[in-house]
Structure 1
Amino acid sequence: MTTTATSAFQPSAHPSADGTSVSGRFEALEQLVELGAGRLDQELLDETATLLGRAGQRLRLSGEHTVVTLAGGTGSGKSSLFNAICGLELSPVGVRRPMTSQAHACVWGLDGAGPLLDWLDVDKRFRYARASALDGSGGRETGTGTDGSLQGLVLLDLPDHDSIRAAHRAEVDRFVTIADLLVWVVDPQKYADASLHRNYIVPYARHAGVTLVVLNQVDRLQPEEVEDCVSDLRRLLEAEGLHKPRIVTTSTVAEGGVTGIREVLVDAVTARRARTERLATDLGALVDRFAAFDGGHEPPAAVDDRRATALVDALTDAAGAPAVAEVMESAYELRAVDYVGWPIARTAARLRSDPLRKMRLTELRDELRGAFTGPVGAQQGDVDNALQGVTDEVVNGLPEPWARSVRAASRSHAASLPEALGISLKEALPAFNQVPRWWWLVKTWQYFLVLVTMIGLIWIGLLVFHGVFGADDATDGLVGDSGLIPYVAVLVACTFGMGALTSSACRNVVALSSAKHGERMEDHMRTRIRAVARERVLNPVSAELDVYARYRALLNGRAPRGDSRAL
């Protein structure tokens, strides 16, 4: 019985086929997991972490050995095929099913195989060693000039994938995920078995490069029937996504019936590519799943200026900065009265005003500062309203997980924003709580006028005293001459009027400057609020957008920020 092989494994002629590129993609995929943590589907992240752990272990183990699994259903003859390839009766064969309850391993070349078999968790009772010189294969020339040795092969005979025992199926599932080369053994009666195709062929369709399908027991068919079975099997495999499937026909009872599969295995162990191809395929499958979260276009680096300005405006209103500026403007005018107002009029007004006014005025700054030490500075509801829509434009086109993470970043400090805004207003107050120098000059001038007025009144009193009580007629001069009373009265009236006029003029100036003072105060508070908005809202959004940009760079093969690792 002759065998048919549609293709064989050949040694790599390209350096990119070795473990270097796999290691680079491995590291880049690790970065994708880090960037996606807390953002992407946790199941995907967990699966990737599991694969990376498994792939990392495999890369550290022997690269000189190729792990090949013989898997199949009940009665497919995989154990007989295992024994035929090994040349010894190593795996039990019989009518009772299932015969193989645990994986059996045959190793060609023991150096470095021990740790690999331990990692594969093959029971030491079912480990067998073969020497190349005793493998009975003879020798054949290959395209690479090497002999037909199976040196480096780790061949595994697995339990039935359709076994009634769950432990057997779990054993098959485990080895299918870690083997370098998958060999599915089918027979002419059950090659279309639904469980095989549904549970293994379809899920691992993209692993066509490291998958071999063996149509066993072809000795039961006529030569023309063999070709029909192979064609029908190929049609099924291609329909299920297995690109250019490798199909080999075998018979364990016919002379030379396993030559075809031995040739494929020799090519595989000679090329030593199956390990890296399997890992590259596994990594590629996960990369494709990560690529589903790539929006397809470069995201903005930050919130645009219009939205940022609108946010600052909203937070300014939420913090009550305009109201504070208005209060400070009024306080500015009130305090100015103590310096530029006419002291005599101010004293008269104070006698009938609220006696607490002075205290409230002098402690106004402390009261305002105390009002901004906590959430009183801004209500949480107002802050939440201010944050609405700040990321609406930057998340357009982003996949939902990333759009959600950007929105979350904008609100990551929402709870602490009221207190931060209050503190920013509190720190803004002292800078404009200074008394202008000209106020002091006016105050000095006003008290000088008061002094002149008081002197004039005393002078008039002395003149009246001398005139009324008939003091010594000889007394004359500035005190004794009552004729000076009208002149002194005019002087007093002038100083009094000058003081009132000065107060009125200065109050007009204060009224104009208080408006500018309020504007400066509001600008100063706005500057501090802008810093809070950038620190607590805009910077977290920019950082999240940067994470997404790095994520896309890795997926598209561009190393982010000088990193040489990319997919």
Structure 2
Amino acid sequence: MSRHGAARESSRLHSRLEALNDARELAAGALPEEALDEVLEVLDRASSRRSLSAAHTVVGFFGATGSGKSSLFNAVSGAEIATAAARRPTTAEPQAGIWGADDSEPLLDWLEVRNRHHAAPVPGFADEDTGLILLDLPDFDSTRAANREVVQRMVGLVDVLVWVLDPQKYADAAVHNDFLAPLSSHGAVTLVVLNQIDRLPGHDVRPVLESLRGILARDGLGKVQVIGASAVEGTGVDQVRGAIRAAAIRRQALSQRLAADVARSAAMLAEASGTGEPAGVTAAAGSRLRAELAVAANVPVVVDAVVRSYRLEAGRRTGWPVTRWLARFRPDPLRRLNLRRDRGAPEVNRTSLPAAGAPERARTDAAVREFADAASEGASGPWRAAIRGAAREGREQLPDALDQAIASTDLKAARKSWWWSVFNVVQWLALLLAVGGFVWLGVLAVLGYLQLPVPEVPRVEGWPLPTVMIAGGILVGVVLALAAAFIGGAAARARGAGARKRLTAAVGAVAEEHVVEPVALEVSRVASFNAALKVAATD
């Protein structure tokens, strides 16, 4: 691979790893922790491996007891590395054959391989310039738990996996179900060797190899190279060497291995997540939510109180002065709700509205649930649950937040109307006119009672002027009071409409903060997760 090609491959792998990490972080709290922990392990391994020697290709030999794995390892290495180091018929811990010592020590430390053998050059296979590490690993079916743990760990660490099978147990479910099938995405860095073919009759070798290829195809490894070999007779050893040498020379195995890990992790996250995109937050759903919350928060009650309070205050200011004082005995509806905000008075942060009862709570719950259901429509199970959970969490804070929102909304209740002063002045003038008439008639009556001369009273259309003054003053006062009541009713409805608008906006802000935004954030998280997962899964 050219230097530029390797750089592009490394950059592409880096982008996929970042996307996988983004997907893992986005899925926190929505997908099972076990799956996220596995992805984190893959990311940690990838980060560690990429920080170590990229000039070495690490090839692991895996096999069951009796498969001749160590013998094949020695045959490929051209030295008795495994037997000399193990001192026993089976491998107890990893043995390393190393070609190219520079920078190999930190890599072997990370692999936790203590038994290291700097192998002699093998013409046509490996020398000091090749950069190759072969590992003979314990049997994956070992009865020792420590050996099985080493194998499991190495399956996740080596760059190239060489699976050594034998004619008697090549179809064993343990190796296929526990190792090969789960690593179906790693076909590019997997080599399968059917060892000990010398134990088969010549005419059975090809059918057994075909049978093995068929089983591997069912494992998802249909394109994996399968080689028949015999470590004893040397059959197929050069083919195994050639496959390993090709991987070492191309220097692609490391990137391919990590890319396969990313693809597998992405597939695991996709399976845990499920498919589907949520419908998201719509204007219609948000409008329905705000309307329902406004009713549940007693906005209609407050608006009615605003209307009645205005009418009451208008009557006190513009009614007939003789009777308007009676209105002072009627309590202000807004004061009873602790919503009357006079100029200079401290702001309130709580109302005296009745606490939400079962019907109001049920209405709120239903509105929030309907909104979350609409937004999560189309999403897979885990994400649907996450979206609903975000809505439920915000719902718990709604009653208190709505009450505070209503308490802090300026209802304009302390604002006076310009026409009040006009009507008030005219009302008092009319009253003074009527009182003047009464006083005039009173003076005339006193003069008559005292047998004093009574002056002639001016007349208007034959009516005594004092009587006209009394009648006119009373009539004007009553007419103004009726007109004020009519005008006050229209103005009260207008003020109520303004209060409804401001209260609805306040309720909408609460709904936005506690329900809409958290739900929208979860919907956005799903979209970001799917986008990141797509990048991670794209080779």
TM-score bracket for the superposition, by shorter chain length: 0.7 to 0.9
Match of 1:161? Answer: 140
Q: Quote the Cα distance in structure 1 between the aligned partners of 2:156 and 2:17.
A: 17
Deviation per CA, 1:226-284: give whole Å up to 9, x if none. Answer: 33433333233223332223222333333576322222222121111111111111111
Q: Verify: 1:286 aligned to 2:265, yes or no.
A: yes
CA deviation profile, 1:489-528 (whole Å, cap 9, x unmatched)? 3312221222122112221222233223322222221222
8 Å CA contact 1:181–1:274 kept in 2: the answer is yes
Deviations 1:537-561 (A, max 9, x none): 2222222222222223233449xxx
Secondary structure (helix, strand or coil) at the match of 1:388 reads helix
Partners of 1:455 and 1:566 in 2: CA distance: 98
Task: Tell me what 1:229 maps to.
Answer: 208
Post-superposition offset of 1:62: 0.8
Match of 2:455 in 1: 481
Q: 1:328 to 1:338 in 2, by over 3 A?
A: same
Alignment CA distance shift 1:445-1:150 (3 Å): same
Partner of 1:500: 478
Aligned-residue offset at 1:156: 0.9
* Inter-partner Cα distance in structure 1 for 2:270 and 2:2: 31
1:566 offset after TM fit, Å?
A: 7.5
Alignment of 1:432-451 (within 5 A): 432-451=413-432
Q: Tell me: CA distance 1:182–1:150, structure 2 relative to 1, closer, same or farther (3 Å).
A: farther
Contact 2:274/2:381 (<8 A) preserved: no
The answer to whether the aligner puts 1:530 opposite 2:508 as a matched pair is yes
Give the stretch that moved more between structures: 524-533 or 13-22: 13-22
Q: Secondary structure at the match of 2:61?
A: strand
Gaps in structure 2 of 5+ consecutive residues: 342-347
Distance in 1 of aligned mates of 2:372 and 2:253: 47
Q: Is the 8 A contact 1:365 1:429 kept in 2?
A: no
Secondary structure at 2:138's aligned position in 1?
Answer: coil
**CA 1:11–1:453: 2 relative to 1, 3 Å:** closer
TM-score, length-scaled by structure 2: 0.88
**Structure 2: distance between partners of 1:94 and 1:129:** 12
Partner of 1:457: 438
Q: 1:58 aligns with which of 22, 32, 49?
A: 49
Aligned to 2:404: 423
In structure 1, distance between residues paired with 2:149 and 2:337: 75
> How far, CA to CA, are the matches of 2:104 and 2:339 in structure 1?
79
Quick one: structure 1 residues 167 and 236, their matched pair in 2 at CA, closer, same or farther if it must change by over 3 Å? same
Q: Structure 2: which amino acid aligns with 1:188?
A: P
> What amino acid sits opposite 1:210 in the alignment?
V
Find the aligned partners of 1:48 and 1:307 in 2 and give their Cα distance. 36
Structure 2 residue aligned with 1:46: 37
Does the CA-based 8 Å contact 1:32-1:551 persist in structure 2? Answer: yes
Q: Tell me the percent identity.
A: 34
For the residue of structure 1 that corresponds to 2:231, the secondary structure is coil
Q: Deviations over 1:419-444 (max 9, x none)?
A: 22222222334424311010111111
Tell me what 1:111 maps to.
Answer: 102
CA spacing shift, 1:293–1:566, aligned 2, 3 Å: same
Q: Equivalent residue of 2:49, what SS?
A: helix
- Within-5 A mapping of 1:13-162: 18-92=9-83, 99-123=90-114, 126-130=115-119, 134-135=120-121, 137-139=122-124, 151-162=130-141
**What secondary structure, in the 3-state scheme, does the structure 1 residue paired with 2:370 have?**
coil
Is the 8 Å Cα contact of residues 70 and 156 (structure 1) preserved in structure 2? yes
User: Distance between the aligned counterparts of 1:491 and 1:17, measured in 2?
Assistant: 104
Give the deviation of 1:297 after TM superposition.
6.2
Look up the equivalent residue of 2:99 and give its one-letter code: W
Correspondent of 2:395 among 414, 419, 430: 414
Query: In the superposition, relative to structure 1, how do residues 42 and 450 fare at CA in structure 2: closer, same or farther (>3 Å)?
Result: same
Equivalent residues of 2:68, 2:196 under 8 A apart: yes
**For 2:69 and 2:271, how far apart are their aligned partners in 1?**
39
Q: Residues 40 and 401 of structure 1 are in contact (CA less than 8 Å); yes or no, is this contact kept in structure 2?
A: yes
8 Å Cα contact 1:70/1:155 also seen in 2: yes
Q: 1:238 to 1:295 in 2, by over 3 A?
A: closer
Matches within 5 A, 1:17-416: 18-92=9-83, 99-123=90-114, 126-130=115-119, 134-135=120-121, 137-139=122-124, 151-254=130-233, 258-292=237-271, 299-300=278-279, 302-347=280-325, 350=326, 356-357=329-330, 360=332, 363-364=335-336, 366-367=338-339, 372-373=350-351, 376=354, 378=356, 379-416=360-397
Shift of 1:170: 1.1
The separation in 2 between residues aligned to 1:535 and 1:462, in whole angstroms, is 73
> Kindly tell me: are residues 166 and 17 of structure 1, through their superposed partners in 2, closer, same or farther at Cα, counting changes over 3 Å?
farther
Amino acid paired to 1:517: R
Q: Alpha carbons of 1:164 and 1:505: their partners in 2 closer, same or farther (altered >3 Å)? A: same
For 2:254, the aligned partner's letter is R
Counterpart-to-counterpart distance in 2, 1:500 and 1:254: 126
CA gap of 1:42–1:270, structure 2 versus 1, over 3 A, is same
| Residue equivalent to 1:476 | none
Q: Distance in 1 between matches of 2:143 and 2:24?
A: 37
Deviation at 1:168, TM superposition (A): 1.0
Distance (Å, rounded) in 2 between the aligned partners of 1:547 and 1:286: 19
Change in CA separation of 1:62 and 1:462 when aligned onto 2, cut-off 3 Å: same
Q: Distance in 2 between matches of 1:357 and 1:371?
A: 25
Structure 2 letter corresponding to 1:357 = R
- TM-score when normalising by structure 1: 0.84
Cα distance per residue 1:399-423 (max 9 Å; x no partner): 1112222222333311221122222
Q: Is the 8 A contact 1:138 1:148 kept in 2?
A: yes
Gaps of 5+ in 1: 1-9, 141-146, 474-479, 559-564
The alpha-carbon deviation at position 176 of structure 1 amounts to: 0.9
In structure 2, do the counterparts of structure 1 residues 106 and 464 end up closer, same or farther at CA, with 3 Å as the change threshold? same
> 8 Å contact 1:98–1:159 — kept in the other structure?
no
- Helix, strand or coil at the partner of 2:193: strand
SS of the residue corresponding to residue 373 of structure 2 reads coil
Deviation at 1:29, TM superposition (A): 0.6
